[in-house]
Amino acid sequence: MSATVAAPATPAPPSAGARGTDARAPLTGARVARRVRGVLLGLLAVVIALLWAFPVYWMVLSSLLPNARLRSTTPTFFPTGATLGNYRSVLSGDSFTSALGMSLAITGLTVVAVLVFAFFAALAISRFRFRGRLTFVVAVLFVQMLPAEGLFIAQYRMLSSANLLNSVVGVSILYTAAVVPFTIWMLRGFVAGVPIELEEAAMVDGLSRTKAFLRITFPLLAPGLVASGVYAFLQAWNEFTVALVALPAESARTLPLWLRSFLASSASRGVDWGEVMAASTLIAVPVIVFFLLVQGRMTSGLVSGAVKG
């Protein structure tokens, strides 16, 4: 995981050679003190990491325990006597797979649309001066300040009249609109950070404008695009208030709606924590997998950006 917000101003590139100086420094008292401090900081970092991950651990752990155990007032901290029973009952029926399919389709479409639209817009506002540019920039920033809780009825009416209720496209339009403003801001910094001279130099070397863009500029933008993609993915994957009105049919449920309805039907009979946690785990897993997948890309993108910059 690396760049998540583009620096509107591009700070100085790390210079080669600076890294090595520390290692060659002579062993002094100050250095010992620094090492002790390093160990303490390391410990602190591990403790914080564990604390931060604890709720996640708790979720996975509980998903493996039988419900009667979870209701007890003395918590169980380790998965002794673990069972997959919760997962079995959660996955019985096809509601999970249908919700998974819906979520994947909506999230996929949203991520692609957001990246393309936001990238174009970022290109426009950072590479061109044009009439209405400032208005557009300000509008983009302010439009995300509109509270979403009052929009249900308008959004429903709009989708209904366009015959897009319960459709992947309808929700994806709403999600894209919700996510695009922020990603434009994010990418704008990245685009502005790529010196146009690089591209021009490549063109002097005989590359076409498109090729110069693809070979030189695009790789430098990769971390920004990945970061925007991650953001769009998370938003679309987790959203449920818009989905609630835009996808009223049971067959069109996304995963968060599925979890919510699962929670609701469970709550009316006394929450079956084990099953709820199993359901939550199932929703979190694709996100974690996705994060692990893009992590490598992001880092390599950043490294190549740093080297070429």
Partner 1 sequence: MKIVRIAAAGAAVALALTACSSGDDGGSSGSDGTAEAADITLWLAGADTPDELRDYLKTTFEEENPGSTLTIEEQDWNDLVTKLTTALPDENNTPDVVEIGNTQSPTFTTIGAFRDLTPLYDELGGDDLLPSFVEVGQADGKNYALPYYFGSRYMFYRPDVWSAAGVEKPTTLAEFGDAVTALNNGTQSGFAIGGQDWRNGISWVFANGGELATEDGGEWTSTLSDPNTITGLEQWQAVYEGASNVPATERDVAYWDFLNDGTDGAAPAAATIMAPGWARWSIGDLTTNDDGEEVRDGMADTSKFGIFALPGTDGGLAPVFAGGSNIAISAKSQHPELSENLLRIIFSEEYQTMLGENGLGPANAQYVDSLGDDEFATTMIETAAASKLTPAAPGWAAVEAAFVYEELFQAIAEGGDVTALAAEYDERITPMLNGS
Partner 2 sequence: MPSTEAPTAPPAAPPARPTPRRRRRGPGAAPYVLIVPALAVLLAGLGYPLFWQAVTSLQEFGLAQQFGQPPTFVGLDNYARIFSDERLWAVVVRSILFCLVNAFATVGIGVLLALLMKAVHPAIRIVLQIGLLLAWAMPMVAAVTVWKWLFDWRTGVINWVLVQMGFDRYEGHTWLAQPLSFFFVATVIIVWMSVPFVALSVYAALTQVSDEVLEAARIDGAGPTRIFWHITLPLVRPVLSIVLLLQIIWDLRVFAQIRLLQDAGAPVSETNLLGNFIFELGIGRQDFAGAAAVSIFVLALTVLISWPYVRNLLKEDA
Q: Give the x/- contact pattern for partner 1 in 168-187, rule: CB under 8 A.
A: xx------------------
Residue 236: partners with Cβ closer than 8 Å, 6 or more residues away: 106, 107, 110, 111, 172, 175, 179
Could you give the CA distance from residue 211 to residue 304 in angstroms, rounded to a whole number? 18
Per rule CB under 8 A, is residue 143 in the interface with partner 2? yes
Question: Using CB under 8 A, which of the segments 64-72, 80-88, 90-98, 203-211 binds partner 2?
Answer: 64-72
DSSP string, 273-309: HHHHHHHHHHHHHHHHHHHHHHHHHHHHHHHHHHHH-
Cα–Cα nearest to 112, from 72, 188, 168: 168
Could you give the CA distance from residue 211 to residue 208 in angstroms, rounded to a whole number? 5
In whole angstroms, the minimum distance from the beta carbon of 255 to partner 2 comes to 8
Among 16, 68, 145, 293, binds partner 1 (CB under 8 A): 68
Q: Give the x/- contact pattern for partner 2 in 14-53, rule: CB under 8 A.
A: xx--xx-x----------------x--xx-xxx-xxxxxx
> Is the distance from CB of 54 to CB of 69 less than 8 angstroms?
no
- Smaller CB distance to partner 1: residue 42 or 81? 81
Could you give the CA distance from residue 207 to residue 212 in angstroms, rounded to a whole number? 6
Among 26, 32, 277, 293, binds partner 2 (CB under 8 A): 277
Among 86, 107, 155, 228, binds partner 2 (CB under 8 A): 155
CA 171-259-78 angle, 5° bins = 140
When CB distances are held under 5 to 8 angstroms depending on the partner's kind, the choice from partner 2, partner 1, none that residue 21 binds is partner 2
> Is the distance from CB of 166 to CB of 249 less than 8 angstroms?
yes
Per rule CB under 8 A, is residue 291 in the interface with partner 2? yes
Per rule CB under 8 A, is residue 34 in the interface with partner 1? no
- Smaller CB distance to partner 2: residue 166 or 280? 280
Judged by the rule CB under 8 A, the positions of this chain that interact with partner 1 are: 66-69, 71-74, 83, 85, 88, 101-102, 105, 152-153, 156-157, 160, 163-169, 244-245, 247-252, 260-261, 264-265, 267-271
